Structure 1
Amino acid sequence: MSRYLYSIIRCLPDPRTGEFVNYGAIAGDPVTGDWEIRQLSKTDRIRKFAPVAVLEIAGSFMLQLGADIDAHRALMEEGGEPLGEEWLQRLHHDHRNVVQLSPPTPILADNAREALERVFQHVIIDPVTQPRLGVTKDVLTRRLRDVYHRADIDESLIHHRPHVFVGAHVNYTMDFAIANGRAVQLTQAWSFRRSSLDGVSMQVKAWGYAIDRLRQGDEARVIDSNNQRVSTIDRNVDLQVVIAPPETSAQEHVFEEAQEIFASLAAQVHSLDDVEAVGARAEMLLRRL
């Protein structure tokens, strides 16, 4: 057996949510140039999940990928170099929108077709993945809203997606602020259980920069997105974070980086298992007003 590499080819109707369906896979030997692609044969559930326009993009990508492999086979017959590992790495890096490729992963096989057979038997999950099981940011924020309501907090004090301004130039849209002239709690949700976390990493850093300026004492205010009501924010405002924790090593790496930011800002971090504590904390702080 030889060392092959494979990547799962995924289709994301809305890359912002992280929800995806597996569309196919690519596997090959970067030394010999033995590459093959394969598309899922059963697409009924994919069609229910993804619009036709999105599936057309994924289908066109697969066709172009196949054409590239065929072209390089012809070049190799004339003495050209095979498609190497850097080619697959580049595909993974460059495609971060509707079509995405999982990080190249080694697998032992006798040929590319056998490698794909192993991938389809043991790796590909069909087809709606973890975000449908309750790990998207939307699910986290809906759960938070429910928690605030169960805590018997007046609806007028729950500000969803308010704008937080810090100093003269820094602003960030928070998920929730509990405020009535003065903010008593700011809450942000992050899902680290996504196929691509590059956007999450940048968002955490941008959020962290804004909150750090707040913690340093810059004048800050929160403006409700609906009625433009303004509330001041104290530098020691209660800061809560609710997460969907990572499951893979790649997700863990991004989460560890985020944890350092959370700790530096004195944010309390909760999973869905103890998200009720966020509402209880907000209710207690409001009673002190």
Structure 2
Amino acid sequence: MSRYIYSIVRCLPDPRTGEFVNVGAIAGDPTTGDWAVRRLGNTERIKRFALPAAIDVTDRFLVRLSSEIAEAREVLEAEGSHPLADDWLLRLHHDHRNIVQLSPPASIIANHAEAALDVIFKRMIIDPATQPRQVTVGKDRVVQDLRKAYQRAEIPAHLLKPKSDVFIGDKLHSTIDIAIANGKAVQLAQGWSFRVTGLERLLTQVKAWGFALERLRRGDQARMVDAQGRSSEVTRDVDLQVVIATPETAQQGAAYEEAEQVFHALGADVHPVEDVGAVSVQAADLIRRLL
């Protein structure tokens, strides 16, 4: 588990009175870029307390927060940097003193930003409309856990290559979630979630990824280009790791069984996300062999 910071988002129809109603919350880990924002699902209490104009202001603020988080996640995936730094939430707290206000940032221990919000909404924001929540795990959360595992293993940042493109032969190419490379790739790591609803699309992505990497395993010439445009050699025997959010339903299980055939054919090591540390341990060992 990691330390997250959070603020509760409040609506003050008349800031002079100081009376407010909680409308949502934001939580995140600035060191990994794992942020999430959630709005109160039960709006009846808000409507009894605030006029539509004030509610609209808070809704637009929450939408803007969501957009900033989405844009920051794209930068994180492409460049490996975290645009939303430690002081971002503190600045939001200081800058919003009108209809929208945020509570002073506080700490909470959680596995993910969404898990932190679950605790906040359960203990501080009573919202019957959102409980129980459907448990889904996106691919981005799996990749976030992979990033954290590399950090815990103290893998040097300059060796981490998020969202790198692997070009195989003359026509094939595939995107790798995180690679470990420095002129030569020693590990390729890919995250997949089978705890989702769009299973057909997921299987299409897995098979397309597998088709490209199969040609790599056969010995086709390959090279990797990271987000900064630096190139690394990729050989057929490169260590291939797959981290998955395991299925929970029968349909998800059937999809995983089909995908598992692809992973097996590639000789990939497959780990549930709960065992993601095994990937970073292997990476650390491979790096030591290079030194």
The verdict on a shared fold, with TM-score over 0.5 as the criterion, is yes
Q: What residue number does 1:129 align with?
A: 134
| Matches of 1:208 and 1:126, distance apart in 2 | 38
| 1:238 to 2:239 alignment | yes
Q: What residue number does 1:94 align with?
A: none
Q: Which amino acid aligns with 1:212?
A: E
Q: Which amino acid aligns with 1:129?
A: Q
Percent sequence identity is: 46
Q: What residue number does 1:197 align with?
A: 199
Cα distance, 1:128 vs. partner? 3.9
Q: What SS is found at the alignment partner of 2:235? A: strand
Q: Which has the greater radius of gyration?
A: 1
| Matches of 1:286 and 1:239, distance apart in 2 | 14
Q: What SS is found at the alignment partner of 1:203? A: helix
Q: How many residues are aligned here? A: 174
Q: Which amino acid aligns with 1:259?
A: E
Normalising by structure 2, we get a TM-score of 0.55
The correspondence for 1:219, drawn from 218, 221, 225, is 221
| Deviation digits for residues 56-96 of structure 1 (CA, Å, limit 9, x no counterpart) | xxxxxxxxxxxxxxxxxxxxxxxxxxxxxxxxxxxxxxxxx
Q: What residue number does 1:139 align with?
A: 141
Q: Is the 8 A contact 2:168 2:221 kept in 1?
A: yes
| Matches of 2:275 and 2:203, distance apart in 1 | 24
Instruction: Return 5+ residue gaps in structure 1 as ranges.
Output: 1-40, 52-123
Q: Is the 8 A contact 2:42 2:130 kept in 1?
A: no
- In the TM superposition, what are the counterparts of 1:143-162 in structure 2 within 5 Å? 143-162=145-164
| Matches of 1:277 and 1:177, distance apart in 2 | 15
Cα distance, 1:146 vs. partner? 0.9
| Matches of 1:148 and 1:252, distance apart in 2 | 28
**Relative to structure 1, is the Cα distance of residues 125 and 264 closer, same or farther in structure 2, using a 3 angstrom cutoff?**
farther
Q: Which amino acid aligns with 2:185?
A: A
Q: What SS is found at the alignment partner of 1:257? A: helix
| Matches of 2:138 and 2:43, distance apart in 1 | 23
| Matches of 1:197 and 1:280, distance apart in 2 | 30
Cα distance, 1:152 vs. partner? 1.3
4+ residue runs over 6 A deviation: none
The correspondence for 2:179, drawn from 177, 181, 193, is 177
Q: Which amino acid aligns with 1:130?
A: V
Q: Which amino acid aligns with 2:261?
A: E
Q: What residue number does 1:210 align with?
A: 212
Q: What residue number does 2:189 align with?
A: 187
Q: Which amino acid aligns with 1:142?
A: Q
Q: Which amino acid aligns with 2:135?
A: Q
Q: What residue number does 1:251 align with?
A: 252
Instruction: Return 5+ residue gaps in structure 2 as ranges.
Output: 1-40, 45-54, 64-128
| Matches of 1:242 and 1:187, distance apart in 2 | 7
Cα distance, 1:196 vs. partner? 1.9
| Deviation digits for residues 161-213 of structure 1 (CA, Å, limit 9, x no counterpart) | 10111011100111011000000000000000012211110000001001100
| Matches of 1:287 and 1:193, distance apart in 2 | 35
Q: What residue number does 1:263 align with?
A: 264
| Matches of 2:43 and 2:160, distance apart in 1 | 42
- In the TM superposition, what are the counterparts of 1:48-197 in structure 2 within 5 Å? 126=131, 128-131=133-136, 135-197=137-199
Q: What SS is found at the alignment partner of 1:198? A: helix
| Matches of 1:238 and 1:144, distance apart in 2 | 15
The Cα RMSD (Å) is 2.7
| Matches of 1:171 and 1:236, distance apart in 2 | 17
Q: Which amino acid aligns with 1:223?
A: V
Q: What SS is found at the alignment partner of 1:266? A: coil
